[in-house]
Amino acid sequence: MSENESMATGAVTSAPRTQDKSWVAPFFTIWGGQALSLVGSQVGGFALVWWLTQETGGSATILALMTFIAMLPGVILGPFVGALVDRWNRRRVMIVADSLIALFSLGLAVLAWQNILQIWHVCVIMFVRALGGTFHYSAMQASTSLMVPKSQLSRVGGMNQTLRGALDIITPPLGALLMELLPLYMIMGIDVVTAVFAIAPLFFIAIPQPPRRATEEQPALVKQQSPVAALFCDVWEGFSYVWHWTGLFIILLMATVLNMMANPAFSLLPILVKNHFAGDALQLGWLNSSWGIGLIAGGLTLSVWGGFRRKIYTSLTGLVGMGLGTLLVGIASPAGFWLAWGGMLFAGFMNPIVNAPFMAILQSAVAPEIQGRVFTAVGSMAGAASLLGMAIAGPVSDRFGVQVWFMAAGTISILMAVAMRSIPAVMRLEDEASQREKQNGSTEQTAKEG
């Protein structure tokens, strides 16, 4: 996904694509190029994580620190990134972001080739790659609702989940195999080469750019603001939008708790494999692949089944299932590797059932011109909790074992799903989303008539 310009002339357009088939070729050309790029990125990421695990002797603290650094840009800078994405040409944002990521991956490859790669090099490169990824993800998410008809958003969301699952199946064993055959610098070189497939289509395919409208309440004040003040005003607008949507805000509060527990657990999976199961890169690949198999199965099941009539019921049911699967990973004994494999499989199966319906609600209800800010505000709130969890998880896991985090995350997921079922504002989320979608449509029609 990228920005919006008319394919024939390159001129920026302001209206979303109609529900004909004209969106299919441009969208899936970009989608396919990014899918190929993700293969290289995930293979490189797998190799890099295992390199860190070996270099640090299996230190959970160091691995948690690396994850902390990688998440920091999204948490601290994410809201500002979203505001800038809503202002800037989204296609150019994605081109620059993807190019920056490729450039620093090339730098890492050179350092590894010269045999001078150190842990602090990895810290810096991971931070820059994460910053570029924050820009890319925000622009991509905000552009999808403009390129894809609303009736197809859930289906595209399911396809994204299926892609994630396929990559999680393919890339871990592929990464483990390549580590046996190739040095680290060549694996990172693959990441650089595949990035070309993501960048190239963006030079030729247009992405719609939403019209930017000043708030009706204080148009004069908006015009008088300095660029910095206006940027902060835009950031606040994203957080304010979430704050005033009660059901969404409650879900995000609960999600922060879940992220604080679950993300540290899964990011420390290499330590669980090495220290608890006494495994190696192959076993890590098997666990990651089981998650991917589950994602594909869950995405296909959701696309056929369609979920319950009310999407929120589907998401909460999936959350209970994810909790049960995560709990199985935590209770597996050192000899119970295949129980953990089954737990990862089941948790992966439930992941699309949690996320796809909820994301479809947001993409259809949030006005296109504010989606960058809202999505990054959501990500920032959830990411902040993950950072707090990572700060605690490393030292605690070094002392008590990573499996403690899996057990806690699974239990809390189940309890949270039950609790949300009894909160009216959460259960009415879909009704309010429909009202907001109608309001957005009315606003767009009024703007066209004007």
Q: What pLDDT score was predicted for residue 80? A: 77
Q: What pLDDT score was predicted for residue 14? A: 38
Q: What pLDDT score was predicted for residue 438? A: 67
HSE-CB of 342 using CA atoms within 13 angstroms: 8
DSSP state of 44: H
Closest residue by Cα to residue 209 from 337, 87, 338: 87
Domains in the chain, ordered, with CATH?
23-209+226-444 (1.20.1250.20)
Contact 379, 141 (CB under 8 A): no
Tell me the C-alpha distance between 416 and 258, whole Å.
8
SS3 state of residue 344: helix
Q: What pLDDT score was predicted for residue 324? A: 95
Write the DSSP string, 68-134: HHHHHIIIIIHHHHHHHHHHS-HHHHHHHHHHHHHHHHHHHHHHHHTT---HHHHHHHHHHHHHHHH
Closest residue by Cα to residue 350 from 427, 277, 417: 417
Per-residue pLDDT of the chain (450 residues; tens, 9 = 90+): 333 333 333 333 334 444 457 777 888 888 888 888 888 888 888 888 778 877 777 666 677 677 777 777 777 777 777 777 777 888 888 888 888 888 988 988 898 898 888 888 888 888 888 888 888 877 877 777 777 776 676 677 767 767 776 776 777 778 878 888 888 888 888 888 888 888 888 888 877 776 655 444 444 444 555 666 766 777 777 777 777 788 878 877 777 777 787 777 777 788 888 888 988 777 887 887 888 788 888 888 887 787 787 888 888 999 999 999 999 999 999 999 999 999 999 998 998 888 877 777 776 667 666 766 777 677 777 777 777 777 787 777 777 878 888 898 899 999 989 998 888 888 887 777 677 666 655 544 444 444
SS3 state of residue 348: helix
Q: What pLDDT score was predicted for residue 268? A: 79
Tell me the C-alpha distance between 338 and 135, whole Å.
38
Q: What pLDDT score was predicted for residue 12? A: 35
Joined together, the tokens standing for residue 407 give 């057990």
Q: What pLDDT score was predicted for residue 250? A: 82
Q: What pLDDT score was predicted for residue 426? A: 84
Contacts of 56 (CB under 8 A, 6+ apart): 62, 63, 119
